[in-house]
Amino acid sequence: MLDPAFTSALAEVLPPSSLLTAAEDTRPYECDGLTLFRQQPGAVLLPDDESQVVEILRRCHAAGVPVVARGAGTSLSGGALPVVDGVVLSLAKFRRIVAIDADARTAVVGPGVRNLAISEAAAAHGLFYAPDPSSQIACSIGGNVAENAGGVHCLKYGLTVHNVRKVRVVLIDGDIVEFGGESLDSSGYDLLALITGSEGLLGVITQITVKLLPRPPFAQVALAAFGDIEKAGAAVGAIIAAGIVPSGLEMMDQQATRAVEQFVHADYPLDAAAVLLVESDGTPVEVAAEMAEINDVLNASGATEIRVSRDEAQRILYWSGRKAAFPAVGRISPDYYCIDGTIPRGALSRVLRQIETWSAEFGLRCANVFHAGDGNLHPLILFDANRPGDQARTIEFGDRILQLCIDVGGTITGEHGVGIEKIGGMCAQFPTPVLERFLGIKAAFDPDGLLNPGKGVPTLARCAEFGRMHVHHGQLPHPDLPRF
């Protein structure tokens, strides 16, 4: 419950339609894509412009009221979960594509612009915005920056951090700063990288300049079948080790392909233990040369069958299975839990084999659908929340996978962020001196800890208390959205 005096102060800044306080109005904001956690906020604020954001933050700062910034609410880690006695600051109205500069190959956009909308607007110039998280039809670019979002194409084109040039940020005291620049490099400390992936803990982003790339004239995808999952894992390593940088390198195991085939009929070989999708893009000459190399490596790695897309329709068909994998898995199991660990590619076979062993041990099916080229695993643990013990075992299974990711030199989240979900896992991944630096940086930006408290970086006290890996089951909303 917010202090009525504070609500009145907000009413000086925002028209009534942009200031939601009634329980029925704030309910849609009680969670994001991680629905296990719910909390209704004291108010939801929907500013129209930056000057309102400045005034809101000044008032929150003065009154000591926590602020949770929110984009499209598609976060899978609870990054936009409201805080008791706090406000949700929605950037949903910042939907303007301010400028597209085809010569400089940049777009200046509001944080509420949908990821895919940027590429759609840039298409007229033959350009596109490369990072393509699963939820790109819905998720906002501001949220992408806050989470350092990835996607299928980031193997070749980089993560959000590689594709953002400049951001405008309102700090908690209402000051406006800009990080980065319009040129390729910028001077001084890399505050742009620091705010990218900072999950709303350092400031509120009000404008973003993204890099655009020329749309490759041609693309082909090879679908390769393997008799066992380790060989498929080794093939991924062999492709990378051969110096090939595919524009997409995705893997699905049999559990996943069978679920997909029933759902979208993507023409996958169902007897295969695993399939790889390897995409090459560029000029037809480049693609032909790269595809020949990819074919050689796949053959040498023991692929039992290789099909290369004949035309654009077939390329899209092969990808349709991958894109539909999450909802397809949702059809074969009452519940599933998506893990998001990343490992060095060399450890792929070992980790996949271990997951297989644990799957048998826990008696829980596990479908693997993931960005193999980046080593970003998304094991989907299938369970039934109504069956006693399933959920606890699922969490235990997930913990083990993430601990294994850390043990082989990887990380507990490749692209979904820490949010509230993995706050305990942070204690397992980072030793105290590193956490101290994180907290020092947080304090430099937001000494009172008002921006998105309780997320992203755990307090040392919390780590002392919950030292072990601690992750939670989350159900996926909008199961119809294509997800990678």
Contact between 33 and another protein by CB under 8 A: the answer reads no
Q: Which position among 96, 387, 437, 468 is part of the footprint of another protein (CB under 8 A)?
A: 437
C-alpha distances out from residue 288 to 130, 280, 292, 294, 309, Å: 22, 9, 6, 10, 12
Residue 67 three-state SS:
strand
Contact between 194 and another protein by CB under 8 A: the answer reads yes
Looking at the Cβ atoms of 86 and 458, the one nearer to another protein is 458
List binders of another protein among 102-121 (CB under 8 A). Answer: 102-106
Contact between 455 and another protein by CB under 8 A: the answer reads no
What does residue 47 show for φ and ψ, rounded to 5 degrees? -65, 155
Contact between 154 and another protein by CB under 8 A: the answer reads yes
Minimum CB distance to another protein, residue 342 (Å): 4
Minimum CB distance to another protein, residue 408 (Å): 8
List binders of another protein among 50-89 (CB under 8 A). Answer: none
Q: Which position among 378, 422, 455, 483 is part of the footprint of another protein (CB under 8 A)?
A: 422
Contact between 453 and another protein by CB under 8 A: the answer reads no
Looking at the Cβ atoms of 59 and 371, the one nearer to another protein is 371
Minimum CB distance to another protein, residue 41 (Å): 24
List binders of another protein among 280-309 (CB under 8 A). Answer: 282-283, 285-286, 288-290, 293
Contact between 410 and another protein by CB under 8 A: the answer reads yes
Both structure tokens of 307: 């099909």
Looking at the Cβ atoms of 331 and 437, the one nearer to another protein is 437
With contact defined as beta carbons under 8 Å apart, do 255 and 378 qualify?
no
Q: What residues contact residue 374 under an 8 Å CB cut-off, 6+ apart?
A: 150, 154, 155, 249, 342, 345, 414
Angle at 343 between CA 81 and CA 336, to 5 degrees: 50
CA distance 363 to 11: 55
List binders of another protein among 353-392 (CB under 8 A). Answer: 374-376
Cα 265–chain centre separation: 27
- 284-300 vs 229-241: helix crossing angle, rounded to 10: 130
With contact defined as beta carbons under 8 Å apart, do 45 and 53 qualify?
no
Bridge partner residues of 450 (DSSP): none
CA distance 327 to 478: 9
Contact between 469 and another protein by CB under 8 A: the answer reads no
With contact defined as beta carbons under 8 Å apart, do 256 and 329 qualify?
yes
Q: Which position among 74, 163, 198, 333 is part of the footprint of another protein (CB under 8 A)?
A: 198
Helix (H) or strand (E) holding 71: none
Sign of CA dihedral 324, 328, 330, 336: negative
Burial group, residue 439, by CB count within 10 angstroms (0-12, 13-18, 19+):
middle
Cα 469–chain centre separation: 20
Looking at the Cβ atoms of 41 and 414, the one nearer to another protein is 414
Minimum CB distance to another protein, residue 412 (Å): 5
Minimum CB distance to another protein, residue 57 (Å): 15
Residue with tokens 């995409």: 279
Minimum CB distance to another protein, residue 201 (Å): 8
Site size toward another protein, by CB under 8 A: 91
Looking at the Cβ atoms of 335 and 415, the one nearer to another protein is 415
Minimum CB distance to another protein, residue 125 (Å): 10
Q: Which stretch binds another protein (CB under 8 A): 150-158, 305-313, 320-328, 466-474?
A: 150-158
With contact defined as beta carbons under 8 Å apart, do 205 and 146 qualify?
yes
Minimum CB distance to another protein, residue 463 (Å): 13
Contact between 124 and another protein by CB under 8 A: the answer reads no
Q: Which stretch binds another protein (CB under 8 A): 31-39, 312-320, 330-338, 404-412?
A: 404-412
Q: Which position among 40, 51, 186, 320 is part of the footprint of another protein (CB under 8 A)?
A: 186
Q: Which stretch binds another protein (CB under 8 A): 56-64, 358-366, 438-446, 471-479?
A: 438-446
Q: What is the CA radius of gyration of the chain?
A: 22
Cβ atoms within 10 Å, residue 242: 13
Contact between 411 and another protein by CB under 8 A: the answer reads yes
Contact between 413 and another protein by CB under 8 A: the answer reads yes
List binders of another protein among 202-241 (CB under 8 A). Answer: 213-214, 237, 240-241
